[in-house]
A and B are shown apart, each in its own frame.
Chain A
């Protein structure tokens, strides 16, 4: 990575984590509405990595069978958003959302659609939050399910999307803990635009409370 600003400063990282947490808590609200129980989503860390690094990160614990909900987006910045789980955890997530009363067979039947919708909710939540902050709209595609290892998830038809805004995400639904990742694949201008947005956000906060200057 060159020093042309793909690295996040500490303040930028904190700010992005805050924005992401706002996004997932919005998604959590939607999920709670569906599940009828408390749903907690949190994003503990944020970083910008290359696609290769990202594919390694998602194969944590040597779990190479991954499933992802993918949506592309356009707007002030564009790219692809991925919500990624190890395959076994995806089923666990669906089970926790559709409820224990379903048999394993039913859960398998529902997995694809339920996962797509859940991913859709979470990714929309994040993207919508950013769009809201910008008072702009973004066009987002419908979700699709992708399966494969890290390299398969992060491969790209073009070479434009070089960078990945990589977020860990923790789900706590019905006392079950599920860990996954959110990855926003973006090209360099998009990253720059994102950083600009983040900096505006930071400046905005600093203007509102000057004592907070770090």
Chain B
């Protein structure tokens, strides 16, 4: 550089520059000291000129500056000493604040000598500007990260937490400085998706940028978090910034929703199955209702037919009986008559069974001790089933007595024995057992004590279809002509009419068990007395009989029988007709009336007669058990069809009672 001005200008220029200038000679003594350095060091030129720099600032000896100055003289090097790396001069600004400064050391070579120039630059403003700038940038940055509702956590490559934002308190419950230096692991459950990701380096670019984890709050509780992951690298080190969003509420709500949905579904399924069950139950009930309605209509039909048929048989039997007496003893005619009577009697037995099924049979309820009844009929049963079948009985002595029609019970047992026999063509065993049952409700009967009679065979058994139909009348598994199909129907009708029930259990190939449920006898029922004397035909006494029947044919048959028995008969075709006769003539000894009549029935008639003349004996003839049970004992009864013998016995009983 060429300076064409005189030396007197250099001096003011030296003082006018806005940096510190210090000129040293090769002994490091101060030969130049401008106003700027004088001002900030508070040392005037007069104070320092000629002095060694290190004597003025003694702290410099331990620093790099003396060597650097030396180098400038020795090898001509230029150096810079910055405030960043060196403790330099004790300089102060106008307000006494410490001046940050850098020193540039340069060799200065003039024609005559070597010098070293120190240029001291105030960098306080620059540094504070940088700091301010940084703080402003940081302020913007912190405004974002600290106002973020999510916790932001930066980790180094050893998973240690380097930095957190203010939200860690709200989100995780940790104070701002509590987490610094800790491992991220303290925020996580041991099994989590985040650690494996952190274990990899940032080289794996395809790593997920967000994961769901179960995190741990400071209070030890756990919560659900979505963690976003950002890898970055600075200063040759890997860092990960994680952003934690607490989604516990959402997850909990989702779970609750899912649970509610599941519960609803479960309820729906239960409802469906319950509806199905109810439907099934109602189908079963409906089927049972249909079955019972069917049985009921069959019963009514059967009962009606049997009733009419019974009347006709009564006429036939009565007429045949009279005929037999009237016709002289011709063996051929007598045989034919006997056969006709036998046929009619078998017809009568059949109608009796039909009536039994229809539960319209006239039952003579009495006190029956099974310990006595069953052994007594064993001979007959053995005879019925044949020698191939062994009959066992199991009747304990404490089995209670029952109230049934003994004859019907015997008939029922015979029917069952015969069925058993037919089920065991190859032979087998038949067991009749009796036991007490405390309560009938188990099989749908009324509350109260029952006695069960079970008849068990070891025969073929029945399949379900057969079992279901077994109690229908005329249903038979026996070949054509071998059975009537009325056996079980009779049993069933009998037990039902007696206030009990019949239950069948059968297994194909193993046998069948029929259980009769019969009501236990009331304690107060009279013990049976010895039977009255065998009915003799009463001829000795002549009776005036009023015969009431709406069926002229039946009435004629009965009148014939009465006449044959030596009585006189007045026939009436209705109840009112009969009452007229009684009004005009009070000399009747006995009234024999049919029960089922249009208008006034036999029972009503009997009651009306009794009201007028309580002593007149009345016989109710009926094929039905339609009489009100509690009143039926008031009058003598006669089962249709009846023979002359039956009629005579009834008359005897009625007149003598």
Contact = CB atoms under 8 A, between A and B. Distances in A.
Interface string A103-126: 011010110011011101100100
B82 interface: yes
Contacts of A139: 76, 78, 107
Given A34-B64, A114-B84, A138 B236 contact: no
Contact of B75 (A33, A118, A132): A132
Given A33-B64, A98-B84, A114-B85, A124 B77 contact: yes
Contacts of A75: 76
Most buried by A among B83, B85, B102, B233: B85
A118 B85 contact: yes
Interface string A14-42: 00000000000000001001100000000
A100 B297 CA distance: 110
B130 interface: yes
B84 A104 contact: no
Given A113-B82, A142-B106, 4 more contacts: A33-B63, A34-B86, A109-B130, A117-B84
A143 to B, nearest CB: 6
B127 A109 contact: yes
Interface in B61-90: 63-64, 67, 71, 74-86
A92 B102 CA distance: 22
Nearest to A118: B85
B75 A131 contact: yes
B235 A88 contact: yes
B136 interface: no
A118 B71 CA distance: 16
A195 interface: no
B9 interface: no
B78 A117 contact: no
Contacts of B127: 109
A51 interface: no
A19 B106 CA distance: 24
21 contacts: A33-B63, A34-B64, A71-B78, A88-B233, A95-B235, A97-B85, A98-B84, A98-B85, A104-B234, A107-B235, A109-B131, A113-B82, A120-B80, A127-B77, A137-B75, A138-B75, A138-B77, A139-B76, A139-B78, A140-B76, A142-B78
Contacts of B236: 88-89, 91-92
B102 A113 contact: yes
Interface of B: 63-64, 67, 71, 74-86, 102, 104, 106-107, 123, 127, 130-131, 134, 138, 233-236
A131 B81 CA distance: 21
Interface of A: 30, 33-34, 71, 75, 88-89, 91-92, 95, 97-98, 104-105, 107, 109-110, 113-114, 116-118, 120-121, 124, 127-128, 131-132, 137-143
A10 to B, nearest CB: 29
Contacts of B63: 33
Contacts of A140: 76-78
Contacts of A105: 134, 138
A91 B235 contact: yes
A107 B234 CA distance: 12
Which residue of A34, A105, A137, A143 has the most chain B CB atoms within 10 A of its CB atom? A137
B423 to A, nearest CB: 102
Contacts of B131: 109
A138 B76 CA distance: 5
B71 A128 contact: yes
A113 B84 contact: yes
A15 B85 CA distance: 33
A108 to B, nearest CB: 8
Nearest to A105: B134
A91 B77 CA distance: 26
A128 B73 CA distance: 11
Contacts of A143: 80
Given A89-B236, A95-B235, A137-B74, A142 B104 contact: yes
A118 B63 CA distance: 15
B75 to A, nearest CB: 4
Given A75-B76, A142-B104, A34 B85 contact: yes
A133 to B, nearest CB: 10
A141 B80 CA distance: 10
A117 to B, nearest CB: 5
Give the one of B79, B102, B123 with max A CB within 10 A: B79
A29 B99 CA distance: 28
Contact of A114 (B67, B82, B104, B233): B82
Nearest to A107: B235
A128 B75 contact: yes
A79 B327 CA distance: 173
B224 to A, nearest CB: 33
B85 A131 contact: no
A142 B84 CA distance: 17
A106 to B, nearest CB: 9
Given A128-B75, A142-B78, A30 B86 contact: no
A171 B66 CA distance: 25
A170 B130 CA distance: 31
B438 to A, nearest CB: 95
Contact of A30 (B64, B138, B233, B234): B64
Contacts of A110: 84
A84 to B, nearest CB: 16
Contacts of A104: 234-235
A124 B235 contact: no
Contacts of A107: 235
A93 to B, nearest CB: 10
B214 to A, nearest CB: 32
In the A-B complex, the 6 residue pairs with the smallest Cβ-Cβ separation, listed nearest first, are A137-B76, A131-B75, A113-B82, A110-B84, A128-B75, A114-B84
Contacts of A109: 127, 130-131, 134
Contacts of B107: 137, 139
A128 B69 CA distance: 13
Contacts of B78: 71, 124, 139-142
A75 B76 CA distance: 10
A64 B600 CA distance: 130
Contacts of B234: 88, 91, 104
Contacts of B106: 142
B250 to A, nearest CB: 36
A159 B538 CA distance: 169
